[in-house]
Amino acid sequence: MTDYEEFIAKVKRKTGIDLSLYKEAQMKRRMTSLYEKRGFKSFYEFYKGIEKDHDLLDEFLDRMTINVSEFYRNGKRWEVLQNKIFPRLLQEKKRLKIWSAACSTGEEPYTLAMVLSNYVPLSQISILATDLDETAINNAKMGVYHERSLAEVPHAIKTKYFDHKDIYYSVKNEIKRTVTFKKHNLLKDTYDTNFDLIVCRNVMIYFTEEAKDQIYQNFSNSLHSGGVLFVGSTEQIFNPSKYSFDIEDTFFYKKM
């Protein structure tokens, strides 16, 4: 076994996270630069450090989960969601079952609530939001953001759903109440079913082809017929029919 393979095995035993399902070159590079910065010379030494030092474990987790996010990320796609996808889904029922998977620090599920509030009262909206990273989830629950995360937020929404002090914006409680955050590992945990909409963006890029294949299949199984998977803007699915998906619009897949 190589130094990295041994590291993968130990990390899996300790945290349940399987690094072998993430693209190797990319992950190795990220981890090597972290351990070198901390003065270690190999994955073997790095793991010994992680075992002894909880802060280093946190730093490792923080480095492997890339938490970058923003409200209304790739704004045009959210317009399609608002003007095409939601109206169709809402023809069938008013209470949609929605999951924001790999939601990071909460910008995505809160954006979902803001967009859906054009059609449905907030009291009737409930969104499940999950991520592997507990620190990100805790920040999501606090709901306070630097103004740079709000660059794409329409002005009317900014004044309606945020309070701000200087350059920090907090999401109002009426929006926060619509989202339930939970820890969930897409590579390991079971998936809930019967969703109308699953949003999973900007995480598939980190996974191996084998892992992606399994996750798309799981998402398909979790959607009911007519339900939609909304993916990130570099994450087109090349063979959607394999997972019983039709293309409804660019980056939106409808379960057959």
- Dmax (CA) for the chain in angstroms is 59
Distance between CA atoms of residues 19 and 9, nearest Å: 8
Please identify, using beta-carbon distances, which residue of 122 and 187 lies nearer to ligand SAM. 187
Could you say which of 31, 106, 133, 171 contacts ligand SAM (CB under 6 A)? Answer: 133
Q: Could you say whether residue 132 binds ligand SAM (CB under 6 A)?
A: yes
Other CB atoms within 10 Å distance of the CB of residue 179:
24
Other CB atoms within 10 Å distance of the CB of residue 84:
13
Could you say which of 8, 11, 104, 231 contacts ligand SAM (CB under 6 A)? Answer: 104
Could you say which of 126, 139, 185, 217 contacts ligand SAM (CB under 6 A)? Answer: 185
Alpha-carbon torsion, ordered 52, 55, 57, 62, to 10 deg: -170
Distance between CA atoms of residues 149 and 72, nearest Å: 9
Could you say which of 9, 57, 80, 187 contacts ligand SAM (CB under 6 A)? Answer: 187
Min CB(121)–ligand SAM separation in Å = 25
Could you say which of 31, 43, 46, 69 contacts ligand SAM (CB under 6 A)? Answer: 69
Q: Could you say whether residue 111 binds ligand SAM (CB under 6 A)?
A: no
Q: Could you say whether residue 127 binds ligand SAM (CB under 6 A)?
A: no
Distance between CA atoms of residues 7 and 47, nearest Å: 7
Three-state SS at 22: strand
Please identify, using beta-carbon distances, which residue of 40 and 131 lies nearer to ligand SAM. 131
- Contact track, ligand SAM, 222-241, x by CB under 6 A: ----------x---------
Alpha-carbon torsion, ordered 218, 134, 182, 180, to 10 deg: -130
Q: Could you say whether residue 151 binds ligand SAM (CB under 6 A)?
A: no
Give whole-number Cα distances, 236 to 128, 152, 210, 212, 255, in Å.
23, 22, 16, 12, 15
Number of residues binding to ligand SAM, judged by CB under 6 A: 22
Q: Could you say whether residue 136 binds ligand SAM (CB under 6 A)?
A: yes
From the list 47-55, 77-85, 181-189, 217-225, the region that binds ligand SAM by CB under 6 A is 181-189
Min CB(230)–ligand SAM separation in Å = 10
Q: What residue has token string 């987790």?
A: 61
Pick the closest to residue 152 from 233, 39, 243 (CA basis): 233
Could you say which of 73, 97, 254, 255 contacts ligand SAM (CB under 6 A)? Answer: 73
Please identify the residue of the shown chain whose CB is closest to the bound ligand SAM: 65
Distance between CA atoms of residues 160 and 140, nearest Å: 19
Min CB(202)–ligand SAM separation in Å = 4
Three-state SS at 16: coil
Distance between CA atoms of residues 187 and 240, nearest Å: 20
* Residues at the contact surface with ligand SAM, assessed by CB under 6 A: 65-69, 73, 102-104, 107-108, 131-133, 136, 185-187, 201-203, 232
